[in-house]
Amino acid sequence: MDYSFVIRRAVAEDAAAIKKILNEAFTKYIEDTGITSNMDALLEDEDYILKDIHSKDVFIALIDNIPVGTIRVQIKEGGSAYISRFGVCSDYHNIGIGKALMNLIDKILISRNISRVYLHTASKYRDLVRFYYGRGFYTESISNERGYIRALMVKEYSS
């Protein structure tokens, strides 16, 4: 083992690994929040992930070539972006992978002159909400449209 840590843009061959990461991360998300409905992230097949790899910015984090985290961001009209499918495998929590993925997204969005980035999360998932607050996000609104209380979080970049 050389203990290398790499984040790179996902390619088509990463679809299966991304699906595995998301299945683990979002299964834990459901367990930790007590959500009883299924989540879209768990219903994605590899073809859907491939479509996103070609239409969004999708990244994968690897430690010693083992896929351990992923994140997607989509640029929206009007100078904003939306983060989705952010997940890190449980065995790799709390060692900086999520923070590194978010830092990369910040750098990309700032370089593209994006003014705001949004994401949704379960408002009951205190550890994750705390993580987002630590990255400069705040709660803009909450809703219950998916059968659980979801927070729409936003981070603003100064120009």
CATH number (domain holding residue 66): 3.40.630.30
Type of residue numbered 142: I
Q: Is residue 37 part of a domain?
A: yes
State which residues form the domain around 72.
5-115
- 155: in domain: no
The alpha carbon dihedral of 125, 121, 131, 154 has a sign of negative
pLDDT tens digits along 37-75: 888 999 999 999 999 999 999 999 999 999 999 999 999
pLDDT score for 38 = 80
What percent of the chain has a predicted confidence (pLDDT) above 70?
98
Which pTM was predicted?
A: 0.94
Residue 126 lies in a domain: no
Total of domains in the chain = 1
Residue 111: both structure tokens together: 């370089």
Q: Is residue 98 included in any domain, yes or no?
A: yes
- In what side-by-side order are the strands of the sheet with 116-122? 5-9, 57-63, 66-76, 80-88, 116-122, 150-156, 138-143
Domain-embedded: residue 74 = yes
Assign 159 a pLDDT band (cuts: 50, 70, 90).
low
d(CA 25, CA 80): 26
Flag whether 159 is in a domain. no
